[in-house]
Amino acid sequence: MSKAHNFNPGPSILPEEVLKKASEAILNFNNLNLSILEISHRSKDFIAVMDKAQALVKELLNVPDGYSVLFLQGGASTGFLTVVMNYMKENGHGAYLNTGAWSKKAIKEAKNYGKVTIVASSEDKNFTYIPKGYNIPSDADYFHITTNNTIFGTQLKDLPKRGNVPLIADMSSDFLSRKVNVADYDLIYAGAQKNMGPAGTTVYIVKNELLGKTGRTIPSMLDLKIHIDKESMYNTPPVYAIYVSMLTLQWLKDNGGVAWIEKINQQKADLLYNEIDANPLFKGTTVKEDRSNMNATFVLTNDALKEDFDKMWAAANIVGIKGHRDVGGYRASLYNALPLSSVQVLVDVMKAFVKKHN
C-alpha cells in the first residue's frame, strides 16, 4: 500500500529519505555495528551529529553572531517556564499576546512566578484572528508571541513594534517553514515535531547577552546559560531525536533551504484555501488575512454530509485531517515534508464531493 497522505498536526510527516536513513541507523550507525539508540552521547560520532545539527540551524536561518543554538528536552511546554526563569526579573513582568491554546499555557506558567500583562487577545472570537494595534509596556522584561496556532489555524504575518522590549517567540509549528530575521528576536524556541524532526527535542536560538540578568536562582535544567556552557550536553540529550532532526535539516539544505520550502508551502496553502473559498460545501474558520500556511482549518456548510465526506477522504488514503475539538470540522496541516501532490489529492476529493452533492 502506498504511503498515506499525512496531514497530522504533530508529530507530523517526515521526508521519506530521512525516514530511510534513520531506520538504517537504528540497526547500524556509522558502521559501528551499534544502533544510534545505543551509542554514547559523549562519543565522537554523536558529538559530530550535535555539531552538525547546530551548524545547520545557523546556516539555514542565517543566525548572526552572538546567538547560541541548543537542542534540549521538554518540548515547548517546558519552554514556557524556561522563558520565565531566564527573562522575567524578580518583581518584573512579562507581556504576552494571547492567540490560542499554547499562548494560554505560556501565560499560565508565567503567572505562577510574576506579573503578566496580556497586551491583546483574540479569545473573544475563539482565536479566529490575530490582534493588531496593541501597545506593549515599555517596562516589560520581554514580549512573548506564538507565531503559529496549530489548533485555530492562524499565523502572525508581521512582527509587532516593541521598542527595546526583548522579543521571545514560540515557533513550534512554523519553524523553518518561512524566512525569518533571527536578529529581530531575543529568543526563538520550537518543538521539533512539526517541521524539523520527531518529538523529543526542542531547539532554542538564544541571544547570549540577555542571559543571567534576572536576579533569580534558576534550576539548572532550566538555565539556558548552563546549557550553552555545556553545549547542550548538561544532561543526556535525546540522541535519536537530534539525529533525525539533523537529517531533516540536511534534507532542507540539499533541496534549496528555507527560501525553497517557503515557496512550496505557499503553493500548498494557496491550493487548499482557494478550494475552500470556491467550494460551496466548505468554509474557512479564520479571517483570511491571518490564515496559517501550516494549519488550514475549515468546516462543512452542511453537517448532514459529514459522514459521506469522511468516507471519501479516508478512501483516498488521507489521514489526520479531523479538526481539534475546540474548532471542530477539519484541519489540514501543511508542514514542510508534506508534498504538494498530497494537497492536490485532498482538493480533488473536495471537488468530487461538491460535484456529488450539487
User: Any catalytic annotation for residue 194?
Assistant: yes
182: its cell numbers: 533571527
Which DSSP helix (H) or strand (E) runs through 204?
strand 202-207
Distance CA 339, CA 170 (A): 25
If one counts every other C-beta atom within 10 angstroms of the C-beta of residue 355, the result is 8
What does 19-42 look like in DSSP terms, one character per residue? HHHHHHHHH-STTSSS-TTTS-TT
- Of the listed 141, 174, 186, 194, which one is catalytic? 194
- Of the listed 102, 186, 207, 251, which one is catalytic? 102
Q: Which residues pair with 206 in a beta bridge?
A: 68, 187
- Of the listed 141, 170, 174, 223, which one is catalytic? 170
User: Any catalytic annotation for residue 251?
Assistant: no
Q: In what order do the strands lie in the sheet containing 93-98?
A: 67-72, 202-207, 187-191, 167-170, 142-146, 93-98, 115-121
Distance CA 42, CA 283 (A): 52
> For residue 11, is the peptide bond before it cis, meaning its omega torsion is within 30 degrees of 0?
yes
Give the burial string for 196-222 (b: 16+ CB within 10 Å, else e).
bbbebbbbbbbbeebbeebebebeeeb
Q: Which residues does the annotation mark as catalytic?
A: 102, 170, 194
